[in-house]
Each structure stands twice: as structure tokens, then as C-alpha cells.
A and B are shown apart, each in its own frame.
Chain A
Amino acid sequence: GDSVTQMEGPVTLSEEAFLTINCTYTATGYPSLFWYVQYPGEGLQLLLKATKADDKGSNKGFEATYRKETTSFHLEKGSVQVSDSAVYFCALSDRRTQGGSEKLVFGKGTKLTVNP
């Protein structure tokens, strides 16, 4: 079945450092890919998404490019802030193999801590 593998954390960075969180996926179809962010004690919020190969999703300075050849969707940010401290989840959804539903398959999450 479909699956998502993302780099294990925790990741600790200093403010203004460059961030990369790796994510690779396995899917039989042509999934849409997502990054969600979870701040402490809260639910998940959509950070960005890409629906087809070579699409780049971006939001709040974060970017990720859908790479079909490497089945990857790595999250990057050029200069992190303390407020970016959260848990980041990579996820995929493929309606064509999921009976039309939009249920997501998640990675295990990567906890990011940014120190001032």
C-alpha cells in the first residue's frame, strides 16, 4: 500500500539556519503530496501541497517540489525562525486508489526546535 517515510527527528537549529526535512513516498498511483504542521497542543494545519510531478508548493517561506523520479517531496526553508518550532508531517493522498476519498497517509512526523 501507499506509505510515506520522513526523516526522524528531532531537529534542532539556530535561528536563520537553513532547514531541510526529507520525505519520500511509495504509491501505486499518482498521489497528491502535502506538508502539514502541528504546533504544540493543536491540530494539524496545511502548510503546502503539490498535486502533480514538478509542481512546487510554497507558503510562509517554506517550499517543497514534487519529484516523481526520486519519489520525494522534501521540505525546505532558507531561514528559520523561533516561531517555526513545531512538528512537521509529510502526507500523501490518492483518490484513484482510495475509492475517491481524500484520506491521507502520513509520515511519522519530524519535530523541529529553533533556538534564538
Chain B
Amino acid sequence: DGGITQSPKYLFRKEGQNVTLSCEQNLNHDAMYWYRQDPGQGLRLIYYSQIVNDFQKGDIAEGYSVSREKKESFPLTVTSAQKNPTAFYLCASSLGRNSGANVLTFGAGSRLTVL
């Protein structure tokens, strides 16, 4: 079955450590996205990529970095510069700008807790 796999599901990190969240999709989608979810704040866009080797900052990119070396993969690194990293992180993908549809498919999420 096609879908998006995020790992790990739960992650604990000490302050000052970088951590990388994995996102893999087998939907053959061109575009991928990272959102952060906090209670009562909805979802906010961190980074997105419309094509391999290209990505753009979203609304809250500070303290995060991404790469898009392969179509299937869009890992997110939460760096020590992110002041409040404890949150639920959601990865999503879509067909891309040349498609007629504009529906996002989401992964199950990764919950990061900073101790």
C-alpha cells in the first residue's frame, strides 16, 4: 500500500542536541511538506519542497533544516537553535504543481519531547 512513513513515532532529546526526523513516501509525489502541531495552534508550515534538490522556508523555519536529495525522502533536522522544539511533527506529500489535484497526504506524525 502506498503512503507516508514517519519515524520515529516518539523521540526524546536533551537540550542542545540536534535530532533528525525521517519522512519517506512511496506515492511518487513530487511535493513534500513539514508541519508542526502545537495544542490550540493548529498546524504551521516549517519547510516544503516542490521538487528534488529544491526546498523553501515556510512560516516557522528558524531552528530547522531539511534536505531533498531523493524524491521519496524529506528528512527534517531540529537543531539546538530551535528554542521550543517539543511538538508533534507531521510530514505530508502531494502530486505537485503540474497536477490537477491539490490534496495532501499525511504521515502518522512524530512526537518530539525535549527533556
Partners in one complex: yes
Binding site for B on A (CB under 8 A): 32, 34, 36, 41-46, 49, 51, 89, 93, 95, 99-104, 106-109
Bound CA span A93–B103, Å: 9
Which B1-31 residues have a C-beta within 8 angstroms of A?
4, 6, 31
Bound CA span A43–B108, Å: 4
Interface of chain A, main secondary structure: loop
CB <8 Å contact, A42 and B97: no
CB <8 Å contact, A108 and B40: yes
Bound CA span A85–B43, Å: 19
Bound CA span A100–B50, Å: 9
CB <8 Å contact, B97 and A103: no
Bound CA span A36–B42, Å: 12
CB <8 Å contact, A103 and B40: no
Interface of chain B, main secondary structure: strand
Closest to B93 in A: A102
Contact of A102 with B109 at beta-carbon distance under 8 Å, contacts A89-B42, A95-B97 already known? no
Q: Which of A32, A89, A100, A104 contacts B97 (CB 8 A)?
A: A100
- Given A36-B106, A101-B31, 15 more pairs with CB closer than 8 A: A32-B102, A41-B109, A43-B106, A43-B109, A44-B104, A49-B103, A100-B50, A101-B50, A102-B94, A102-B97, A103-B48, A103-B58, A106-B42, A107-B42, A108-B41
What does the 1/0 interface line of B27-67 toward A look like (CB < 8 Å)? 00001010100001111110010100000101000000000
Contact of A106 with B109 at beta-carbon distance under 8 Å, contacts A32-B102, A46-B104, A95-B102 already known? no
A108 cross-chain contacts in B, Cβ below 8 A: 40-42
Bound CA span A56–B33, Å: 27
Least CB distance from B86 to A in Å reads: 16
Check if B85 is an interface residue, CB within 8 A of chain A. Answer: no
B50 cross-chain contacts in A, Cβ below 8 A: 100-101
CB <8 Å contact, B90 and A44: yes
